[in-house]
Amino acid sequence: MTLTAQPDIAARGSAVPAVHLDGVVKRFGAVTAVDGISLAIRPGEVVALLGPNGAGKTTTVDMLLGLSRPDEGSVTVYGHAPHHAVALGLVSAVMQTGGLLKDYTVAETVQLTAVLFGRPPSAAAEALRRAGIDDIGKRLVGKCSGGQQQRLRFAMALLPDPELLILDEPTTGMDVAGRHEFWTAIREDASAGRTVIFATHYLEEADAYADRVVFVRRGRIVADGTAAEVKALAAGRTVRATLPGAAEAELRAIAGVDTAEVRGDTVYLHGRDTDEIARHLLTRTAARDLEITSRNLEEAFLTLTADETPEGTK
């Protein structure tokens, strides 16, 4: 679905936080989906909200959109209650499914949305161009691929010119080129002051395009910072080397090694003192082609959200 409203006030460039959650708790019966989240997002930030299924991401987004209210704590969007911010046209949300009439063409859908918000035909044409779907304007929505439908939802969300854009798995179904074009458009919006919050399973997107990454686990924030800062929280680096015939048990016995993995002739050793591990491999084994690397965002995600037990909510 796509949730939009016509803007009535300008918040871009405001000193007021775009999003402010203070001690937010949300329960569903015996299940606590959000457990004391506090978060402030500045106008113009691009923030990735990441976590396993059941971590509380969707529940948090629902509260930002005014679709549900917290049991404890407070949520504001540009200083307003979420439902008021939506009514003022400050928020657009692009969700994964729904909200499209499949017997309309792509162009008709965007033109109708423009009319609903009192925007001129030129705004519809610009939204189609920004979303990269101006070349399929005559195609029926029902004949569009999943990625093309996501681009259509994005075009519709752009029409009210919102201050806050919330994206749920926005590039699902898009090819590599489409994903790159999409994020180029998002970064252009952010440079003009629009705030963007997105959830994605493509962790490389969060690494490449987010100003800030927020990891949620069991309804709580477990990491919040730039991608580099979050990766640093998952302490340690990895030593990769070619070492035919290596046994994991022997590798784990090396001083400083926390975990060891053997993949064919290649070994991966993780630990805090990678210099010592590398020295051991080079002086006491036949290892070659040695390389030391920092953890990537996917490895940080797995480390920081470990032992997650899905509790039936997202």
Categorize the per-residue pLDDT at 170 as very low, low, confident or very high, splitting at 50, 70 and 90: confident
Per-residue pLDDT at 157: 92
What mean pLDDT comes out for the span 110-119? Answer: 92
Fold for the domain defined by 236-294: Alpha-Beta Plaits (3.30.70)
CATH architecture for residues 2-231: 3-Layer(aba) Sandwich (3.40)
* Cα radius of gyration (the chain): 23
pLDDT recorded at residue 7: 42
- The stretch 192-203 carries a mean pLDDT of 90
Rounded alpha-carbon distances, angstroms, from residue 120 to 86, 111, 130, 134, 148? 22, 9, 16, 16, 23
Tens-place pLDDT, residues 34-88: 999 999 999 999 999 998 888 999 999 999 999 999 999 999 999 999 999 998 8
The residue extents of the domains of the chain are 2-231, 236-294
Window from 5-19, 102-116, 233-247 with minimum mean pLDDT: 5-19
What share of the chain in percent tops pLDDT 90? 61
Q: Indicate whether 1 pLDDT > 50.
A: no
pLDDT of residue 98: 73
Q: For the whole model, what pTM was predicted?
A: 0.75
Query: Residues 253-280: what's their mean pLDDT?
Result: 90
Q: What is the pLDDT of residue 305?
A: 76
Q: What gap in Å lies between CA 62 and CA 80, rounded to an integer?
A: 15
Domain 2-231 and domain 236-294 have a common topology:
no
